[in-house]
Amino acid sequence: MNTLLLEPHNGVLHITLNRPDSRNAMSLEMVSELRTVLAQLDTQVRAVVISGAGGHFCAGADVKDMVKAGGKDGLQALNRAFGTLLQAVEALPQVVIVVLQGAVLGGGFGLACVSDVAIADHQAQFGLPETSLGLLPAQIAPFVVKRIGLTQARRLALTAARFDGVEAGRLGVVHFVETDSQALAERLDEVLGQVLRCAPGANGRTKALLLASVDEPLEVVLDRGAAWFAEAVTGVEGIEGTQAFVQKRKPRWAR
């Protein structure tokens, strides 16, 4: 990988966006590498942690790629590729955790919005700067709306306002706001401990049900939930989980 650092550890894959000279701007190469990594994840991986090198998460799209794209068709394909990445991240059965420092702008903001758990430094800088450049947050917009609602998304996108981690917590972009790097690391350890306590298969299907509840008819989601619940109760994880509860021990989830 040219743009990513990968570190697997105890069922967790740590992915570091590694273009510090550009504040980890999202190049087409980085998009491609991320999609490749995510497509190759197996059941050994329980959680994915995404962070950025050099004190920044991601400053948005790489303008150099836009210059090279060559006309409207190339620009459209370039833009849509990032939307496909966001879809892939959101749909992962693994729990996706982002650790946000420094710039969390444009595409970086969009990536934060498709995470399951977001942890931010209180001084991290968030924003949708696209309209201030005469551009559109075209692929990011639907995910921002799902994260924080249409009213706030409109305000942020149409003013290109910058805001810090504290405000990101208030808006619901992030779940935890910490004051220093040690506190960020401790919070990440705490969240990972909670995630790994849960059954991986149950987490994956629960995530799928939650996402479906946003777009699909209620009757369809409830029927699917009932079927999956019955499978879970009679499946390997359900049997192990209930036996562990009765025996007053920690469940041993297969990986």
CA of residue 162 relative to chain centroid, distance:
20
| Average confidence (pLDDT) over 160-186 | 98
pLDDT score recorded for residue 255 = 66
pLDDT of residue 66: 79
Domain count, the chain: 2
Boundary of a domain, candidates 157, 178, 196: 196
The pLDDT, as a whole number, for residue 25 is 95
Alpha-carbon gap, residue 175 to 116, rounded angstroms: 9
Q: Would residue 38 count as lying in a domain?
A: yes
d(CA 35, CA 29) in angstroms, rounded, equals 10
Residue 43 forms part of a structural domain: yes
Mean pLDDT calculated for residue range 11-24: 97
- Average pLDDT of every residue of the chain: 95
pLDDT in tens, 95-150: 999 999 999 999 999 999 999 999 999 999 999 999 999 999 999 999 999 999 99
Which strand ranges, in their side-by-side order, compose the sheet holding 47-52? 4-9, 12-17, 47-52, 95-100, 117-121, 176-178
Q: Which residue has the tokens 């079927």?
A: 227
Question: Within this chain, do residues 37 and 121 fall inside the same structural domain, yes or no?
Answer: yes
Q: Is the pLDDT of residue 7 over 90?
A: yes
> Are 211 and 170 part of one and the same domain?
no
**Structural domain range at position 218:** 198-246
Task: Please check whether residue 180 lies inside any domain of the structure.
Answer: yes
Q: Say yes or no: 190 and 204 in one domain.
A: no
135 and 217 in a single domain? The answer is no
Span 77-99, average pLDDT:
96
Q: Are residues 179 and 222 in the same domain?
A: no
Please say if the pLDDT value at position 170 is more than 80. Answer: yes
Q: pTM for the whole thing?
A: 0.95
* Tokens standing for residue 131: 């309209």
Give me the count of residues in the chain: 255
Same domain, yes or no: 150 and 56: yes
My answer on whether 132 and 143 are in the same domain is: yes
Same domain for 124 and 24, yes or no, is yes
pLDDT at 254: 76
pLDDT of 192-218, one tens digit each?
999 999 999 999 999 999 999 999 999
Residue 254 inside a domain? The answer is: no
Let me know whether 121 and 87 are in one domain: yes
User: What is residue 180's predicted lDDT score, i.e. its pLDDT?
Assistant: 95
Q: Please, are residues 127 and 164 in contact by the beta-carbon 8 Å criterion? A: no
Q: What is the mean pLDDT of residues 155-162?
A: 98
CA distance 4 to 250: 35
Alpha helix positions (H), 26-172: 28-39, 63-68, 71-91, 107-113, 141-148, 150-159, 165-171
Q: How far apart are CA 174 and CA 48, in angstroms?
A: 16
pLDDT of residue 68: 78
CATH assignment at residue 126: 3.90.226.10
Residue 253 lies in a domain: no
pLDDT-derived band at 87, boundaries 50, 70, 90: very high
For 33-79, how does the pLDDT look when each residue is reduced to its tens digit (9 = 90+)? 999 999 999 989 999 999 999 999 999 988 888 777 778 888 898 89
